[in-house]
Chains A and B, each alone.
Chain A
């Protein structure tokens, strides 16, 4: 059960006031790694004024975002659909059915729906809908089976063999909910607005042109999964959180230096995230950092060439998330994305796994999973599989791929050789209950260096190079390289930040930046999390997942001109 709201709100108001009073201004000298920020980029920052009478907004999102559907109704409909699919002759079928409610103060969304997969002779079909009646879901299930049979018949006529068998998965039953302390949908809207106002007030204390902001959004989802093998599980998933940023307006033009505050972001978390007493301290430090960067001289950088670069953790997370991680996507390796997102250079799977020389730098170890408090945490994935933690890259060697029940059989031989049972890692996800399930990586982590190495230390040996903060990687379709620009690029000489640069673009080669060029990784205190979004399929749907990485020192990165006339 969720905690009652009222004591929590009182606690928040007290905590918030205390934290605001405790903000220390101007006394901190931030070290370079504090500037290396990482935070989910997709959260829009909005500002609202607190109404005169805050008591008038006592409504909670629960009261606002109503739904007449219940978990019991979803379970009942799921069983009706699975009975219909079984009766229609499916070799296998499953259903995801439920409701998603999204809340970001002055906008909301309630969406119910279901998606049914049916399989006949190794060929899938999918049917989705929004009408929640026994007749509707049963009809959809029978249609899905008929379509799967049609598709299987076409494959038979084409002389194409049956598809690969699904990886085995035990029958699962039960209920689970994200372990949040305070249901964010039970908190009155004026508490959210009060928090907003408190965050903005931190920036006011630093003078004109300095702003501190917060953004909040939450999703509450009830999702039921059932299959014709007898699985029936119900999950209540709460995802959301706050984003914090600070900015300082540049004196000479209509632009600003913005700093994202690390350590916050979307997770499986409730309103307790707002009660973190360090929030206002973090905002104050962020404001100081924005001011410090603003005071550095800003120039354009005229020279192209190859330079050493330190990427902060957020930038490294986006590089690894868009390259190595995407290349290890089982859907790509199986050719399921060949008409859409593309294939992977890490194929054929058996050759890659057997390779004796590492594909990447020996410094690189990458793991994945879907454990709490990750925003992608679930007890059962959308295949009905309990996710597990696993290693995909071990000191540069590819050891595994991100898999679902459909793609795990690609690794059957490898698992057998290593005495691992054949199973999915639990990476199956439907972005909504009515979406086609696809494979994702889950929560990806790049292991930091074990020996202390902050960003100052990584820059220390740099004669002339760059520190890249909050960089965004655009990865080419083949995943073999890409372009990168950043919120902040700092020129470093003799290990010291010298000036802020604008209009800087970097070109990177995947096997270089996480291979031969990777000289050192930062330690744990440089680790940042970035949100990666990868559209899959046609019609494409974006799957999002977090990637966490330490800062990295790469010795050879190309600076390129991205302006005409070069």
Chain B
């Protein structure tokens, strides 16, 4: 099968060609190439079938401490590349000096990258699939359930490369697939309407199960009929995986050692082995995570290796890139993770008992079950305090049963606080995000999370009002 994006071999050849064109003391080339195929469904019909391609090649050059002039182009013909190199060199030559810009000229340790399986031919093949069957599997049940359906079916193939004159050359490919289904009924004179949301995401297209996603959407939409306003406040909350994924996706950046030492993260002021949250929870990242690995290098070609950040509730590691690690005398070096897994420790006899959401509900005297949250915003980085709104299913639980649907809340809490109030935890899975521009560009990195039940989760207001 022809690759829909540049292969690692093609990227490496491109890097060698470009770097051979420049006489600059330091130079780097970054390439990202993405192909997508998207089917969007609106009102139970295909709204649009789209094929997109984006390509960006950035060349940066410097002479000694002069320069770091960057030019981005999206054409790969030799004429364009030669012109781009020539112009960055010309401006770099004439620019002012800045010793801080000489990082790429520093001696570097040898780079070794793990093998990581982020590419699936099944997903690449889905970039030319007509998706007849999947669309029907989504729309027919929605029509039968008398719901208005909207859906996003996306597949993406991506390749990226970073190379510099000092010898770093990292290239790799990944694929992503995501299915999101929303179903709702309109408010009427006799009904307040309802809506439900469900989704799945995977590197491998074949792991997407439209039947399961649609069934969940219909279940939530039916459950959300006639939602009523319920008093906000601190309450027991059962946070489903889609809710937890939105929250946990904010966490990776906090493990950066420089930011932590500068007092900017919830880990600032903590020492290694300090208790951060409940001892039943572990936070880790692994390029070869079977539920959602990631490329074993960052956008500067620095290697990423498996790391445990929080082990059984205690701080085990911070993230040191190679230069910070060398400066600080820390090994192993590892940049802040792009992707994390929150789960229970699995390598000890003390692995806690896991509960399903149904079991959590059965064990809850009074609380709120939140399927998903949206509009995440970090309010205070130092404490990890963030705000968002429930969106896509929110229910009142009383005496071990879902009593009724409730209107959406705005919440304000920090995972570094509420994960210390853990009541129960479930199994971890890669989870879909859906529309989430507050986290970055689609597709978002894999985030693997469990559902959790926590005490005193802070619902601050009805979302209708704020």
Contacts and interface: CB of A to CB of B under 8 A. Distances in A.
Bind each other: yes
Given A108-B72, A537-B40, A57 B48 contact: no
Contacts of B47: 123-124, 163, 336
B46 interface: yes
A478 B87 contact: no
B413 to A, nearest CB: 7
Contacts of B45: 123, 155, 158, 160-161, 163
A107 B91 contact: no
Contact of B70 (A68, A107, A125, A434): A107
A476 B375 contact: yes
Interface stretch (A7-15, A110-118, A200-208): A110-118
A130 B75 contact: yes
16 contacts: A64-B87, A110-B72, A125-B50, A126-B50, A126-B52, A128-B51, A158-B44, A158-B45, A335-B150, A338-B184, A434-B53, A477-B374, A507-B465, A539-B52, A540-B435, A560-B460
B414 interface: yes
Contacts of A130: 53-55, 74-75
Contact of A477 (B68, B72, B136, B391): B391
B96 A538 contact: no
B115 interface: no
A285 B375 CA distance: 37
A340 B71 contact: no
A110 B74 contact: yes
B91 A106 contact: yes
Contacts of A563: 380, 385
A564 interface: yes
A436 interface: yes
Nearest to B87: A64
B150 A339 contact: yes
Contacts of B53: 128-130, 434
Given A151-B49, A338-B182, A507 B70 contact: no
B56 to A, nearest CB: 8
A477 B152 contact: no
**Chain A, interface residues (CB within 8 Å), range:** 35 or more
Looking at A151, A189, A509, A540, which has the most chain B CB atoms within 10 Å of its CB?
A151
Given A51-B95, A59-B91, A538-B180, 6 more contacts: A49-B96, A112-B74, A126-B48, A436-B48, A564-B383, A564-B412
A339 B42 contact: yes
A474 B375 contact: yes
Contacts of A112: 74-75
A128 B52 contact: yes
B441 interface: yes
Interface stretch (A142-150, A379-387, A453-461): A142-150
A538 B136 contact: no
Interface string A313-342: 000000000000000000000111011111
Contacts of B152: 339-340, 538
**Chain B, interface residues (CB within 8 Å), range:** 35 or more
B410 interface: yes
A48 interface: yes
Contact of B442 (A108, A338, A538, A561): A538
B300 interface: no
User: Which are the 10 A-B pairs with shortest beta-carbon distances?
Assistant: A338-B150, A539-B442, A535-B437, A160-B45, A339-B150, A126-B50, A507-B466, A151-B46, A109-B72, A124-B48
A143 B52 CA distance: 12
B463 A476 contact: yes
Contacts of A153: 132
Grouping DSSP codes into helix (H, G, I), strand (E, B) and loop, the B interface class, with mixed when no group exceeds half, is strand
Interface string B127-164: 00011100110011001000010111010000000000
Contact of B466 (A109, A111, A508, A537): A508
Given A63-B87, A339-B42, A474-B377, A158 B136 contact: yes
B351 interface: no
A365 interface: no
A477 B375 CA distance: 7
B389 interface: yes
Contacts of A480: 463-465
Contact of A339 (B41, B132, B460): B41
B458 interface: yes
B210 to A, nearest CB: 14
B52 A434 contact: yes
B91 A564 contact: no
Looking at B50, B55, B135, B412, which has the most chain A CB atoms within 10 Å of its CB?
B50
B135 A154 contact: yes
A394 to B, nearest CB: 26
Contact of A509 (B90, B443, B465): B465
A436 B434 CA distance: 18
A66 interface: yes
A564 B463 contact: no
A562 interface: yes
Contacts of A338: 42-43, 148, 150, 182, 184
A124 B48 CA distance: 5
A509 B94 contact: no
Nearest to A190: B94
Interface string A174-197: 000000000000000100000000
A107 B71 CA distance: 6
B79 interface: yes
A369 interface: no
Nearest to A159: B143
Looking at A57, A436, A558, A564, which has the most chain B CB atoms within 10 Å of its CB?
A564
A535 B434 CA distance: 13
B265 to A, nearest CB: 16
A127 interface: yes
A542 interface: yes
Nearest to A485: B379
B74 A539 contact: no
Given A478-B464, A564-B458, A111 B46 contact: no
Interface string B357-395: 000000000000000001101011001010101010000
B73 A51 contact: no
B38 interface: yes
A46 interface: no
A507 B465 CA distance: 7
